[in-house]
Structure 1
Amino acid sequence: MSERVVSEEGRRRRRPTKHGTVLSEELIVGTALRLIHEHGAAALTVRRLGSALGADPSAFYRYFRDTDDLLLAVADELIGRTLRGWRPTGEWRADLRALGLRMHADYQAHPQAALLICARVTGRANETRSVETILGILRGAGFPDAEAVRIYHVFVDQTLSFAALDAATLALPAEVREAEERAWPGTYARLPADSHPHVAATAAVLVAEMRHSAYPAALEMMLAAAAARLCRVHAEEDG
């Protein structure tokens, strides 16, 4: 269906839809993100999009080849939101920390979408800007190119893995999520010390810890490991 995609100028709808809006790629992406947030993957159909936009479903193909093409645009939009809300400080650990936490938070704000897009590569403008930005932070900090790429890979995959994991929890039905949360104080905190001495000894800390995402702690561990590696690089250069 790629032959149905036309130039940006040719895409522009000259008349408003029946809802009084003028179609655009941005409007379609925003509407898709809202529908996915409300209804999950099942919402991503041309018919539903047309209904939500108040437009003939066929108008969709003036902007996207198919719904997968739209999904990549949604993924790229979330990356763009992260970048637009982030400001560099010039200190590499602080910059990566802020970028990672913001990225994770933006995906948690849209858990249904995160489940669909965390494993995708968009190849679009915001993603390429993100790759350039992160590699620039690492190379600017003094990491050799091979190390910069390796740390970039770990940083992004770790962030997206936790985003998908935590999104899966948030996407559970409320009663299921609540039942799982109750398992920590209701089951683990009550295990006897004679059969589970380590769980019993750490029960209070374990219950408190498991209420939250492990991503911030994992991020700090990754940054500390990267900093240690950078120190070794400098030592090797000086030696």
Structure 2
Amino acid sequence: MSERVVPPAARQRRRPTKQGVVLSEELIVATALRLIEEHGAEALSVRRLGRALGADPSSLYRYFRHTDDLMLAVTDELIGRTLRTWCPTGDWRADLRDLGLRMHAGALAHPRAAVLSSYRVTGRVYEIQAVETILGVLRDAGFPGAEAVRIYHAYVDQALAFGALDSASVALPKAAREAETAVWRATYARLPADTHPHIAATARHLVADMPHSSYPAALDLLLSAAAARLAEIRERREA
């Protein structure tokens, strides 16, 4: 793509595409997300996207400068989809746990896009809203600015990292996923106690736990540490 992005007010086509739809940024992003999930990252090309939309590829320049600009918009849309399903209650710890689990579920719903977007900073509307919202939850709970940012950083990076990790696993062919799961029972559960006493002692737990994501447990550990830190801050304030 190029640098010829048209201002938002002048973007909309007067005529529908060959498929009878009017182009918009939202439609392009939704179509790009679908192509990524169906065909992989290589699908995010101007030509393929134009074909899917029934539009001349050059018309996409009115909305996005280049494919990376479009990828950032896709990333921001994933954030927006999570935020639109989240209803905070005022309990900071419960709210952040719920939001984190929703972020993780959103990544698993779009595994190929999640792997691509997990390390991007968009600077777009939904990402800005997410940063403002999470920092607000932490500051309203009583965390001072520096602590709020430190916890926000760890919280978001943890969610993105697990989203990418688990999405990569989900994107594997079914046979490969099943083979990896079978390793815990076929290999680890059969190791003898005289050579691998700790694995042997916990084998049944490894078989039961390891095929599943550890994100919920990791999230709970992070939030427990944050709660302990908040208690320390409150004790110092009251002293």
TM over 0.5: yes
Return the offset for 1:174: 2.0
Return the offset for 1:3: 4.0
Match of 1:224 in 2: 224
1:63 aligns with 2:74: no
1:4 maps to amino acid:
R
1:204 aligns with 2:204: yes
1:38 maps to amino acid:
E
1:27 aligns with 2:15: no
Query: What does 1:56-205 align with in structure 2 at a 5 Å threshold?
Result: 56-205=56-205
CA distance in 1, matches of 2:134, 2:10: 35
CA distance in 1, matches of 2:176, 2:212: 17
Return the offset for 1:172: 1.5
Question: What is the CA deviation profile of residues 164-189 of structure 1, one whole-angstrom value per residue up to 9, with x for unaligned ones?
Answer: 11111111122222211111111111
CA distance in 2, matches of 1:10, 1:101: 39
Question: What is the CA deviation profile of residues 71-93 of structure 1, one whole-angstrom value per residue up to 9, with x for unaligned ones?
Answer: 00000000000100000100000
Contact 2:3 2:61 in 1 (8 A): no
2:57 maps to amino acid:
P
Aligned residue pairs total 239
Return the offset for 1:194: 1.1
Return the offset for 1:10: 1.9
2:188 maps to amino acid:
Y
The secondary structure found in structure 1 opposite 2:14 is coil
Return the offset for 1:67: 0.5
1:54 aligns with 2:50: no
CA distance in 1, matches of 2:94, 2:176: 36
The secondary structure found in structure 2 opposite 1:4 is coil
CA distance in 1, matches of 2:221, 2:79: 23
CA distance in 2, matches of 1:3, 1:134: 33
The secondary structure found in structure 2 opposite 1:83 is helix
Return the offset for 1:136: 0.2
Question: What is the CA deviation profile of residues 94-125 of structure 1, one whole-angstrom value per residue up to 9, with x for unaligned ones?
Answer: 11001000001001100100111000000000
Question: What is the CA deviation profile of residues 7-56 of structure 1, one whole-angstrom value per residue up to 9, with x for unaligned ones?
Answer: 22321111111111111000000000000011111110001100100111
2:24 maps to amino acid:
S
Gaps of 5+ in 2: none
Return the offset for 1:213: 0.3
Question: What is the CA deviation profile of residues 127-176 of structure 1, one whole-angstrom value per residue up to 9, with x for unaligned ones?
Answer: 00000000000000001111001000000001101011111111112222
CA distance in 2, matches of 1:8, 1:91: 38
CA distance in 2, matches of 1:238, 1:11: 57
TM-score by length of 1: 0.98
TM-score by length of 2: 0.98
Match of 2:13 in 1: 13
CA distance in 2, matches of 1:3, 1:76: 20
1:45 maps to amino acid:
S
